[in-house]
Amino acid sequence: EPEVTQTPSHQVTQMGQEVILRCVPISNHLYFYWYRQILGQKVEFLVSFYNNEISEKSEIFDDQFSVERPDGSNFTLKIRSTKLEDSAMYFCASKERGGYEQFFGPGTRLTVL
C-alpha cells in the first residue's frame, strides 16, 4: 500500500542552524501539507502546497520557513535558523486530486538544543 515517507526520523540540531526535513508523498498525489505537533499539544497546520506554490500558510509559517518540491517526488520543509521553540514532531501529508483524505507520514522529530 502506498505511504508517505519522511526522513530523517529524528533530527538534532543546534539553535541557529538550518535544517531540511524531507518527505516523499504518495506518487499520484498533488496536494502537499506540513503540520507540526509540539509535545503535549495539538497538531498544527503550517502550510499547504499545490501546483508548485504555497496555497495557504499559518501564522507559524514565517520567513524562517520555506517549502520546496525540488523534483517529482520530494517535498521539503526548510527552517533557516532554528529556535528552541521549533522543537516538535513535523508531519508531512499528501492528498490526491478530488480526494478528501490527507495521508500522513510517520513524522520527523526535531530537537533544537
Partner 1 sequence: QKEVEQDPGPLSVPEGAIVSLNCTYSNSAFQYFMWYRQYSRKGPELLMYTYSSGNKEDGRFTAQVDKSSKYISLFIRDSQPSDSATYLCASSTSYGKLTFGQGTILTVHP
Residue 13: burial class (beta carbons within 10 Å; 0-12, 13-18, 19+): middle
| Cβ nearer to partner 1, comparing 35 with 75 | 35
Interaction between residue 87 and partner 1 (CB under 8 A): no
Interaction between residue 42 and partner 1 (CB under 8 A): yes
Interaction between residue 102 and partner 1 (CB under 8 A): yes
Interaction between residue 25 and partner 1 (CB under 8 A): no
| Cβ nearer to partner 1, comparing 39 with 84 | 39
Residue 61 is classified by DSSP as -
Q: Please answer whether residues 50 and 56 qualify as being in contact, where contact means their C-beta atoms are separated by less than 8 angstroms.
A: no
Q: Which residues contact 45 (CB under 8 A, 6 or more apart)?
A: 33, 35, 56, 58
Closest distance to partner 1 from the beta carbon of 49 (Å) = 11
Q: Please answer whether residues 108 and 6 qualify as being in contact, where contact means their C-beta atoms are separated by less than 8 angstroms.
A: yes
Interaction between residue 62 and partner 1 (CB under 8 A): no
Using only the alpha carbons of the chain, give its radius of gyration.
Answer: 13
| Cβ nearer to partner 1, comparing 48 with 82 | 48
Q: Can you give the binding site for partner 1, defined by CB under 8 A?
A: 4, 31, 33, 35, 41-45, 48, 55-56, 58, 91, 93, 95, 99-107
